[in-house]
Structure 1
Amino acid sequence: MSSETPRAGDLLVRTGAVVFLVGAVATMATMAPLFLGADPLPPVAWFVCMLMGVGFLIAGAGVLRSIAEQRRQASGASSASQ
């Protein structure tokens, strides 16, 4: 366990990673029948694959939120020292 305090955006990045992994597994499961010569999965499975992009966007939003928070802290520290 880390002793580091969670920063703004950390939860979004973790959530985005989990959603991305769910989408990646769904993509592999959806593509497997195409290579194995089996019947393709229903369209619902193809829509679950879109979670890869959604997870990527969520994680990106978390990174941007973390950047914004760090900039706010840096500008606050520099204005306080002047």
Structure 2
Amino acid sequence: MSLKNSVVARLRQVSGEWVPGLKESIGGRIDAVRARFDQLNRSLASKALPEGRRERVRDLVLEQKARVAGQKRK
């Protein structure tokens, strides 16, 4: 077996052992970062809308959901 073939075989073995664990570890961290950004985004959006506008947006969303639910029942 040539040096190149043995190095490639060893790299494949190591990557097969390490990559799944790394993906799982990094995936969990990415999910945590996404959750933090989502919280930050919601907080900023909440602070950006005046109270009266926020209530109107909430009412419009509820009306839209009610219409969609009514359409699905038919």
Higher RCO, 1 vs 2 (CA within 8 Å, ≥6 residues apart): 1
Q: Larger % of helix: which? A: 2
Q: TM-score, normalised by structure 1?
A: 0.42
